Amino acid sequence: MRSFAPAGALRALLLMTTFLATALGAQAQAPLRGGTLVVVSNPGEPAVLTAAFNQQGAVSAISTKLFDGLIHFGEDFKLEPELATRWDVSPDGKTVRFTLRPNVRWHDGKPFTSADVKFSFDEVWRKIHPRGRATFAAVESVETPDPLTVVFKLRNPSGVVLRALNSGESQVIPKHLYEGTDIVQNPWNAKPVGTGPFRFKEWVRGDRIVLERNPDYWDAGKPYLDQLVFRVIPDATARYAAFDTGAVQYGVLMPISINDLERAQKNPKLRVEFRGYDWLGSSVAVDFNVRKPPFNDVRVRRAVAHAIDLQALSKVTARGVAKPGTSPVLSTQGRFYTTDLPAYAFDTKQAERLLDEAGLPRRADGTRFAVTLDWLPFGESYLRYGEFIKQSLRRVGIEVTIRGQDLPQFMRRVYSQNDFDFIVTHRTAMGDPQIGTDRVFWSKTILKDVPWSNGSGYSNPAMDGLIEAAHEAATEERRVELYKKVQRQAQADLPSFTLLENRMYTIASRRLQGLATGSDSAYDSLKNAWLAP
């Protein structure tokens, strides 16, 4: 055994040196042209290949290679040009003028103009985008004084508009292929024509989607890769095996199970990238049904928050990668985030005190009351969160029954029938609290049947006032200030309790270079990506 140790250490050293040399060499190298990048389509197979009206993760991950937005995010949510080369906001904040990039062509050769942007806004983003109506509520009209100018006329200043024009959220689609058609059922959704660095080649359902280099891309000389092949690999173990053997080289949105993450981090062939998810802002939350006892009492909701050790929850369910939640606005959301909020430290004694105060004392058998927890069927991790909550709450005398069901039943139970006590669910921030946070706390988002709306049934005029004032804030500073107040109110009333800020990750082969690291680069167009030998 002893004789092996030095040999092992030597081999490790050698491996490290080789690896470092390769990594440094690769960095110093100029991008290489050509090659096929095999990507795992995650989660699962997309429904369509344009995210203009469907924001499913797999759709966005693929369509952002085919389509552009007006702008995109650099690091720290810095706005950078894409189809728009510049944008000017009038002093009163009610006019936003975009200058479009000249000589951009759709993949079918037709020129891209302001008419495409107006069409996308009028017919897609505002009408059939799942969040568009709320996001663009302040936009009165979109005007096109010339083919390369688009003017957004606003009723009131609205900071969210500029933050929703990246290709992940608001894709520009070609008017000439969509005008006068039923957009949702338009056949071009499955063989799209975009302006992005890659163009559609083929889609073999259930197996692969192939995109090829767009030789006429506006950013001349790019992309470097010849081809992207998206493969559907439904099983998590098989996905890791595919990365390990080099059968796939790139995947976003946690393409391997959290249980394989450590292995991937130690795997010399793979790289784990946590950057690029700030815009998406994924978190895990508990939503209470505040329409009925026991969670109509804020003391009971606060007791639940005090009874769960979030640090331990992260360790047990997410290998310590996730960050304990402190606010419905995540710490990655830049200037909107604040820690000056009511907090709920892990304190079972405080939890018990609150439950006693709420008139729910321990009975002879030691329990106080029984409730049912429904978990969002987005994979086994939600069941594990549920089990952790069950065990945590048992300590303070709350008996929890965990109920599982498939997604359609979950949606119906929570958003149509409101037939639940509390749920453990997923939330995305989408770059701006007006998009990601309002829908949970605004009484106007108590919408029957609508997924991801205010399913708790929480309604507080004070909160409504803050949210509505934020929508019409004259300056960005005022908007930020108001959203900090929204967070304070939310943490005080606690209709929803953020358990964890997910740290999502990308898995990439070490050969893959040139990946973007901006706030929304999980949906990078891959125009700068290239494969080292």
Partner 1 sequence: MARTLSIDADAAPVARTRRRPYVLTRVLQMVPTLLLILLTAFVLLQLAPGDMVQVLAGEAGGGSPEYLARLRQSFGLDQPLHVQFLLYMRNVLSGNLGFSFRNNASVTALIGARLGPTLLLAAAGLAVAVGIGVSAGALAAARRGRPVDRLIGIAALLVYATPGFLLGIGLMLVFAVALPWLPVGGFVDAYGVEGPWAHALSVARHLVLPAVTLGALHAAIYARFTRGAMLEVYGQDHVRTARSKGLSAGRIALRHVLRNALLPLVTVIGMQTGALLSGAILVETVFAWPGLGRLAFEAMQQRDYNLLAGLILCSGTLVVLVNLAVDLLYAVLDPRVRLK
Sign of the dihedral through C-alpha 220, 222, 226, 228: negative
Measure the CA–CA gap between 521 and 278, rounded to whole angstroms: 9
CB of 427 to partner 1, least distance (A): 11
Per-residue DSSP letter, 378? S
Distance of alpha carbon 233 from the chain centroid: 21
CB of 202 to partner 1, least distance (A): 10
Q: Which parts of this chain interact with partner 1 (CB under 8 A)? A: 36, 38, 44-45, 47-48, 53-56, 127-128, 130-131, 133-134, 182, 184-185, 189-190, 204-208, 210, 229, 231-235, 237-238, 241-242, 244-245, 247-248, 406-409, 411-412, 415-416, 428, 430, 439, 447-453
Nearer to partner 1, 321 or 526 (CB): 526
Please write down the long-range contacts of 126-133, taking CB distance under 8 Å and 24 or more positions apart.
Answer: 128/53, 128/183, 128/184, 129/52, 129/53, 129/55, 129/170, 130/53, 130/54, 130/55, 131/55, 131/169, 131/430, 131/435, 131/439, 132/170
Nearer to partner 1, 397 or 436 (CB): 436
**SS3 (DSSP) at 332:** coil
CB of 56 to partner 1, least distance (A): 5
Measure the CA–CA gap between 337 and 326, rounded to whole angstroms: 10
CB of 250 to partner 1, least distance (A): 12
Nearer to partner 1, 244 or 464 (CB): 244
Nearer to partner 1, 280 or 396 (CB): 280
**SS3 (DSSP) at 272:** strand
CB of 58 to partner 1, least distance (A): 9
CB of 367 to partner 1, least distance (A): 30
DSSP string, 9-69: HHHHHHHHHHHHHHHHHHHHSPPPP--EEEEE-TTS--S-S--SS---HHHHHHHHHH---
- Residue that has been written with the tokens 């939890």 in this structure: 351
Nearer to partner 1, 17 or 417 (CB): 417
CB of 184 to partner 1, least distance (A): 6
Nearer to partner 1, 142 or 229 (CB): 229
CB of 74 to partner 1, least distance (A): 23
* 285 touches 424 (CB < 8 A): yes
By CB atoms closer than 10 A (0-12, 13-18, 19+), residue 217 is buried
Nearer to partner 1, 42 or 113 (CB): 42
Nearest to 185 by CA among 50, 68, 56, 59: 50
Nearer to partner 1, 232 or 516 (CB): 232
CB of 148 to partner 1, least distance (A): 31
* 326 touches 341 (CB < 8 A): yes
Nearer to partner 1, 109 or 180 (CB): 180
By CB atoms closer than 10 A (0-12, 13-18, 19+), residue 116 is buried
